[in-house]
Amino acid sequence: MPNPKITYIGAGSSVFAARVITDLVATPGLDGGTFALVDLDAERLDLSRRITEKVVKVSGKDWEVQTSTDREELLPGTDYLINSIEVAGLACVEPDYEIPLKYGVDQCIGDTIGPGGIFKALRTGPDWLAIVADTQRLAPAAVVMNYTNPMSILTLAADRTTDLSVVGLCHSVQGTSRLLAGFLDVPYEELEWRCAGINHNAWFTKLAHDGQDLYPRLRELAVDPDFYEQEPVRFEAMLHLGAFVTESSGHFSEYVPYFRKRRDLLEKYTRPGYLGESGFYAHNWPYWREASARHVREMLHGDVPLEIDRGHEYASYIVEAIELDRPLEIYGNVSNGGLIENLPPGCVEVACRVDGQGLHPCQFGPLPEQLAALNRSHMAVHELVVQALLERDRDKAKLALMLDPLTAAVCSLEEISQLFDEMWAAERPYLAAFE
């Protein structure tokens, strides 16, 4: 009987941790094992311990729950490591947004690419690489699943420094494929699709039903105002570039130079919330964080029902496939060893077969060139940031920002240099690894 040890680093991210743990507990055939929860914040860690113990109790399964603020205490024997750490998020979410805005760089989310994403990588990367090194030393057989953004940069950095099996996981592929099935009024299990690219910029190169191409129908829907308004940026990109992208309109608008570089374009293409609102993440994330903790407390107190159901995050499916040898396909962020032929070595998002022998990324072939070109522009940024992390090289991080598509569309080189220096000064207490 499988008895896996699953170590969760950053378990204080209470609602997300509870979601992933509930998925694992709800997995048929995974009837016991160990959850080892780690977080530096003892109070948030205790909240995660309590909700995990309640999930286990309600399920009636035989999972042991361990906790520690010291990962080295719990890493030995780990079969699967799940990472969702947040480094200096509360302290830096405002300068990540406000300082670039002074220079005209308007971000909606700003945690994966652009000034906000690059500085999040610089703050997070050193801690993440230390976690990876400790895992290599103490649990060399562990499968490492990274959920922390910036996904591509952190997953690539880990892969460059370890021979562990590392995969970056997101929910944009499975979420968008379901969205498209709804748009097209096709049962999800009958939708035929292919998708590949980089995280948050992967492209649906095939959409079909019973062998019939559905893109003509989707283009018809895209010019219907009722549909267009649901995803204005993504539909606009599809109409001109030929494929629907995996990330929300607001976040995707930061990846390309077309939608946020002028006030008139922001007014034309962006909408409130995840559809492109300026500073949406910066203005709301601190409150979401507290609301997350409050929601967990409500589940603990019985004010909100606790349901042991399984969601669509990939972590539990990976564990199920490996532990029980139940082959399946997920979409993961992995190193590109020729998987996408016209993208460089770096981190790509592709289909991966998972079975009792582990994860096996699948060959995709070439992307349409216009899509590959957009991906390559970001992979150059990823490469420079990874080099900056591995070499502790501040100048390479600045060069990365100079190549960022949105920042370069708005600012001169001199302005980008000044923007970077101002952000560095504001966040310097959290960049000690570069001193």
Structure tokens of 297? 């407390």
Q: What is the pLDDT of residue 1?
A: 74
The per-residue pLDDT for 303 is 87
Q: Where are the alpha helices (DSSP H) in 103-150?
A: 114-138
Nearest to 135 by CA among 157, 153, 162: 162
Beta bridge partners of 203: 196, 245
Q: How many residues does the chain have?
A: 435
Give the pLDDT confidence score for residue 305 in this predicted structure.
Answer: 87
- Mean pLDDT of each 10-residue bin along the chain, 435 residues long: 94 87 97 97 94 95 98 98 95 97 98 97 98 98 98 98 97 97 97 98 98 98 96 98 98 98 98 97 91 90 89 96 98 97 98 98 98 98 98 98 98 98 98 94
pTM over the 0.85 mark? yes
Say if residues 411 and 419 touch (Cβ distance below 8 Å): yes
For residue 164, give the nearest of 79, 86, 87 by alpha carbon: 79
The three-state secondary structure class of 103 is coil
Which among 113, 157, 126, 199 has a CA at the least distance from the CA of 400? 113
Asked if 315 and 333 count as a contact pair (C-beta separation under 8 A), the reply is: no
Contact residues for 433 (Cβ-Cβ < 8 A; gap 6+): 125, 126, 392
Long-range contacts of 411-418 (CB under 8 A, 24+ apart): 411/103, 411/104, 411/105, 415/103, 416/103, 418/103
Q: Is 360 a catalytic residue?
A: no
In Å, what is the CA distance from 205 to each residue of 160, 215, 243, 364?
A: 29, 9, 6, 11
220-224's contacts with Cβ under 8 Å and 24+ in sequence apart are 221/183, 221/184
Element (H, E) at 240: helix 232-241
Q: What is the DSSP letter of 291?
A: H
Question: What are the residue boundaries of the structural domains of the chain, listed by start?
Answer: 88-115+170-278+313-435
- What are 26's two structure tokens? 């709800």
3-state secondary structure of 108: coil
H helices, E strands: number in the chain: 18, 13
- DSSP sequence for 305-331: -------S-SHHHHHHHHHTT--EEEE
* Closest to 408 (Cα-Cα) out of 193, 261, 252: 261
Q: How far apart are CA 351 and CA 329, in angstroms?
A: 6
Structure tokens that stand for 404 in this block: 């960022």
The two structure tokens encoding residue 97: 């947004």
What is the C-alpha to C-alpha distance for residues 136 and 75, in angstroms, rounded to an integer? Answer: 10
Q: For domain 88-115+170-278+313-435, give the CATH superfamily.
A: AglA-like glucosidase (3.90.1820.10)
